Amino acid sequence: MNEYYDVKSDFGSDVFNVETMRERLPKGTFKALMETIGNGAELDGSVAAVVAHAMKDWAIEKGATHYTHWFQPMTGITAEKHDSFINPQGDGTVIMEFSGKELIKGEPDASSFPSGGLRATFEARGYTAWDPTSFAFVKDNTLYIPTAFCSYSGEALDKKTPLLRSMDALSAQALRILRLFGNTSTKRVVPTVGAEQEYFLLDEGLFNKRKDLFFTGRTLFGAAPPKGQELEDHYFGTIKQRVSDYMKDLDKTLWSLGVPSKTKHNEVAPAQHECAPVFENANLAADHNQLTMELMQKVAKRHGLACLLHEKPFAGVNGSGKHDNWALSTNDGQNLLKPGYSPLENAQFLTFLAAVVKAVDDHADLLRLSVASAGNDHRLGANEAPPAIISIFLGEELTDVIEALVSGSHAKNLHRQFDIGVSTLPTFPMDTTDRNRTSPFAFTGNKFEFRSVGSTLNIAGPNIVLNTIVADALCDFADELEKAPDFKSALNQLLKKTFTEHKKIIFNGNGYDASWIEEAERRGLPNYVSTVDAVPHFEDEKNVRLFVKHKVFSEIEIHSRTETLLENYEKVLNIEALTTVDMAKREILPAVLKFEKDICEAVAAKKAAGFEPGAEKELAEKVIALADTLSARIKLLESDILKAHTIEDIKEKSRFFHDVVFASMQSLRAAADELETVVSAEYWPIPTYSELLFSVS
């Protein structure tokens, strides 16, 4: 019999949220804190002191003994240093204290995190600063305080700080547009995000037998299994009991921490699944997604499972993405990307839509590099992920509206025709177009779905870019419209001009079709296939100018992130290459040689018995040839790794890893994977794809 679980009372029970703050804070303190959270007002130190005392008492009641400033360095993961609440009194006793100063500011070591040259080893000082817009929570007997992280000299060393800056920039420019439409009540515009998280679940025992999975998160070897995803029988299929138990545990764990986990289902590949939340403001969504990834792996261990978050754990089957659903909401409840119910609302919608189209066309390079990583390079362009070419899917009806606006004609494919004019736009029909799974950036009725984001990525990065480029487009619009003598006429002309100049970014067709690559080139759309192609464009003059203009990144911060992204790429490839060599030399080759020896002995025995060793001889010859090939390719890869480390320039080094080292890895893998298909199963030293993908029942 199922035990009753009260979701409503448990949700957010371990979070110092608005309800808890209202109960525990004096009215004046609560009001001041809400003003900071809702409208960005500066928080007074005396208010922080009161909040810290109440937060500490609440956390202790929850079993907390320590607190930590929880932050997101440029590694993309989260970091934490724990301090206890105790304060010794000199008489052998302690009291539990937590001050406003300790709440607001911390000081972890900044030199041990990647900084792209912002900090040297001897420059260790860095600061964490409380982010009151993301609620504190208790986990593992510790009070977690979401914070920003910056250097002694003030540069951002994290993902959160530029995300918050980009949200401020977007709000400021969106409000300028809303004021032109007569909206004087909205105080803030917030980008909202819902990040769908795909992942694989494997048996933990099998996972632990694979060095490649343990060290890199993906399989560096593995022949295709007899059955993969070709029967399409896993997607949305019945959830197996062991997986279902895991999902239930994960939901409860997330709900108690205020993470609005909403949807769970089987994904396309065997052993692949998805967890999707309800929309939240972009900052909170980023924090919650980081927490979700951590807990997915932790909860998996409780069930004897291993959770893989890598973008492409297995060759030949679907990889994992993190579809970033992005919209614009006002503090008073409007979704600015939702077509309205009046001509004025529709004109406003078209204005924000035009800003997004312009932004994506002007800065497709930035969107591509915002999702660049060694892992995502394996996924983009494959049969489950959009291509590396950035384009926008709007659907036929909305595209017709735009074409009609540009030409001054009637829209043909709507449920009813109407004249295109700012004062005469009727209601748009909703959800009348199909979804396009091949599009990197698709409009889905009242939001955009950025499908290129990789499953391991911190979603702060893509959303920093989205927020900033749309802010810039809105800024250009406001600059033009604010000085126009006739707003309606000027808006009509602006929309027509914008869609005319930027409609080349709109593509409603099949992004997997080879002809799209040629068509995109004719349109002048960039095609940065790999991380090393995309990332250097961060430092292009137009991109530096953009981020500096909106105070999201300084020029030195842009340079630091370019260096960090490329360093991460070459380090990941180096770890993969070393792991490839280690597994091939110490596991696969010895097993193959043992099998070779036994087969050769079988050949000799058959000859000694007076028989012609046909099958045995053929197999022996094939194994000997492949073993020699494997050995030669191990040596080549070792040589290429050594060559890579003689290169000092990070751009040249990352390019060498991409062009040479990775190619050698693939060549070595090809020999090993072919050997897997001929060597007897009892000799093969590592779990196969068949075992890994179908092990969880």
Express each pLDDT in 580-621 by its tens digit.
Answer: 999 999 999 999 999 999 999 999 998 988 888 889 999 999
Note whether 499 and 636 are same-domain residues: no
- Asked if the structure places residue 12 within a domain, the reply is yes
Question: Percent of the chain beyond pLDDT 70?
Answer: 92
Please tell me the distance from the alpha carbon of residue 513 to that of residue 118, in angstroms, as a whole number.
43
User: So what's the pLDDT on residue 199?
Assistant: 97
Amino acid at 447: K
Residue-by-residue DSSP string for 566-607: HHHHHHHHHHHHHHHHHHIIIIIHHHHHHHHHHHHHHHHHHH
Q: Cα separation of 534 and 462, whole Å?
A: 14
Nearest partner of 648 among 556, 534, 570, 531, judged by Cα: 570
Instruction: Tell me what the mean pLDDT of segment 153-161 comes to.
Output: 88
What is the per-residue pLDDT for 669?
A: 98
pLDDT of 563 over the 80 cut: yes
Q: Is the pLDDT of residue 233 over 90?
A: no
CB atoms within 10 A of CB 571: 14
Give the strand pairing for 392-393 and 441-443.
parallel
Question: pLDDT-based confidence at 647, cuts 50/70/90?
Answer: very high
Tell me the mean pLDDT in the region 257-267: 94
Q: What is the CATH number of the domain that holds 210?
A: 3.30.590.10
CATH number, domain with residue 623? 1.20.120.1560
Please say if the pLDDT value at position 430 is more than 60: no
How does residue 533 score in pLDDT terms, banded at 50, 70 and 90? very high
**Residue 420 pLDDT:** 40
Grade residue 510 by pLDDT with cuts at 50, 70 and 90.
confident
What residues contact 639, with CB distance under 8 A and at least 6 apart?
A: none
558 within a domain of the structure (yes/no): no
Higher pLDDT, 379 or 414: 379
Pair 153, 164 in one domain = no
Structure tokens at 495: 């929309």
If asked whether residues 586 and 622 sit together in one domain, one would say yes
Q: How far is CA 502 from the centre of its chain?
A: 27
pLDDT band (50, 70, 90) for residue 278: very high
Domain boundary among 521, 553, 585: 553
Last residue of a domain, one of 101, 136, 158: 158
Residue 327 shares a structural domain with residue 178: yes
Position 246 in a domain: yes
pLDDT digits (tens, 9 = 90+) for 456-483: 999 999 999 999 999 999 999 999 999 9
Which of 320, 342, 366 lies at the terminal end of a domain, its last residue?
A: 320
Same domain, 391 and 525: yes
pLDDT of residue 435: 58
548 shares its domain with 628: no
Give pLDDT, residue 119. 55
Dihedrals phi, psi of 202, to nearest 5 degrees: -125, 160
Residue 429 lies in a domain: yes
Rounded to an integer, the average pLDDT of 100-127 is 72
Do residues 577 and 663 both lie within one domain? yes
DSSP states along 119-173: S-TT--BEEEEE-TTS--EEETTEEEEEEEEEETTS-B-BSHHHHHHHHHHHHHH
175 and 212, same domain (yes or no): no
Closest listed residue to residue 181, CA positions, set 405, 492, 487, 423: 487
Give burial (CB, 10 Å; 0-12/13-18/19+) of 642.
exposed
- In this prediction the pTM is 0.93
Q: Which amino acid is at 629?
A: T
* CA distance to 577, 632, 664, per residue, from 640 (Å): 9, 13, 8
- Model confidence band, residue 94 (pLDDT cutoffs 50, 70, 90): confident
Rounded to an integer, the average pLDDT of 117-130 is 69
Residues in the chain: 697
Whether residues 376 and 509 share a domain: the answer is: yes
- 354 phi and psi, to 5 degrees? -60, -40
Number of domains comprising the chain: 4
Highest mean pLDDT range out of 341-345, 378-382, 409-413?
378-382
Residue 226 lies in a domain: yes
Q: Average model confidence (pLDDT) for the chain?
A: 91
In sign, the C-alpha dihedral spanning 413, 417, 422, 426 is negative
What's the average model confidence in pLDDT over 84-90? 90
pLDDT score of 115: 66
Q: What is the pLDDT of residue 28?
A: 93
Query: Per-residue pLDDT averaged across 10-22, rounded?
Result: 96
The residue-averaged pLDDT of 231-245 equals 87
Each residue of 153-185: b (16+ CB within 10 Å) or e?
Answer: eebbbbbbbbbbbbbbbbbbbbbbbbebeeeee
- The whole-number pLDDT of residue 201 equals 97
SS3 call for 519: helix
Inside any domain, residue 560 = no
Residue closest to 642 by CA, chosen among 655, 631, 653: 653
487: Cα separation from own chain's centroid: 39
Q: What is the pLDDT of residues 382-421, one digit of tens each?
A: 656 788 899 999 988 788 888 888 887 665 555 443 334 4
Asked, for residue 21, whether it belongs to a domain, the answer is yes
Query: Does residue 225 share a domain with residue 176?
Result: no
Q: Which domain, by its residues, includes 599? A: 567-693
Residue 461 lies in a domain: yes
CATH number (domain holding residue 54) = 3.10.20.70
If asked whether residues 152 and 169 sit together in one domain, one would say no
The verdict on 369 and 474 lying in the same domain is: yes
